[in-house]
Amino acid sequence: MKFPKKENDIVALAATMVSGYTEHAADFPNANLGMLRGRHHRYWIAKRDRVNARAAAHLATYEELKVK
């Protein structure tokens, strides 16, 4: 298996890893599950913030064009 290059595939891999570590904790005693979950959560927060910022910029541009 090659490491994924598309963002969605990387996110899916991370979710699968977190799920696997959770379900098979005894097989991965050195996995830092808290850190993995935290970083996965921070990714989703950053993605949400990016989408919100783009939407706000789009609306601001639309309002600016609408006024002219």
**Two tokens at 32?**
């830092």
**Two tokens at 68?**
């002219």
**Two tokens at 25?**
């904790």
How far is it, in rounded angstroms, from Cα 30 to Cα 28? 6
Q: Is 30 within a domain?
A: yes
**Residue 62 — very low, low, confident or very high, per pLDDT cuts 50/70/90?**
confident
Q: Is 2 within a domain?
A: no
Q: Is 1 within a domain?
A: no
- The pLDDT of residue 66 is 73
Query: Per the structure, how many domains does the chain have?
Result: 1
Instruction: Give the range of the structural domain holding residue 19, as residue numbers without chain letter.
Output: 7-67
Q: Give the chain's largest Cα–Cα span.
A: 64
pLDDT tens across 6-60, in order? 999 999 999 999 999 999 999 999 989 999 999 999 999 999 999 999 999 999 8
Cα 5 to chain centroid distance, Å, stands at: 14
Number of neighbours of residue 18 by Cβ within 10 angstroms: 17
What's the predicted TM-score (pTM) here? Answer: 0.69
**Residue 68 — very low, low, confident or very high, per pLDDT cuts 50/70/90?**
low
